[in-house]
Amino acid sequence: MGRKWDSRNEAYKQRKSDRNREARLTRRLRAAGITQVEYDHLLDVQANSCAACGHPLTRSVLFRAGTPPRVMGVLCSGCFRQISLNWGKIPAKILRFQQLADFLGLIALKLGLTTS
């Protein structure tokens, strides 16, 4: 009698785990402002791999950026962690290089070195 109950209990645990996983995904998608269809499309476009490193996704994270935040891709948890830890440093470097590029562009315009 105990074995039958154990097998039913294991099946119940599996169903509950699957429902919880689906509910967590639904909450994550709703918070990101995308639908299940859009999420599936992102995964298809990325071939079920991380947008940054290309490794197969085991634990996926929706990467959002911009104002207002938009979903930019699906990352593995390792890449997301690295981007999150360095995010404060990245924009400053990008801004610095963008300002430098703008400055050099102005210099090139003044010197007549542009082709357009």
Average pLDDT score over the chain: 76
Helix axes 2-32, 36-45, angle to 10 degrees: 90
pLDDT above 80 for 20: yes
Lowest mean pLDDT among 14-18, 70-74, 90-94: 90-94
Asked if the model's pLDDT at residue 60 lies above 80, the reply is: yes
Res. 99 pLDDT band, cuts 50 70 90: low
Burial 31-41 (b: 16+ CB within 10 A, else e): ebebeeeebee
Contacts of 76 (CB under 8 A, 6+ apart): 50, 52, 53, 55, 57, 58, 59, 60, 61
Per-residue pLDDT at 95: 62
Residue 93 has pLDDT above 70, yes or no: no
pLDDT tops 70 at residue 94: no
- The pLDDT of residue 24: 87
Written as six digits, the tokens of 74 are 């699906």
Q: How many residues does the chain have?
A: 116
Lowest mean pLDDT among 41-45, 80-84, 98-102: 98-102
Residue 13 confidence (pLDDT) above 70: yes
Asked: is 2-85 a CATH 3.30.70 domain? The reply is no
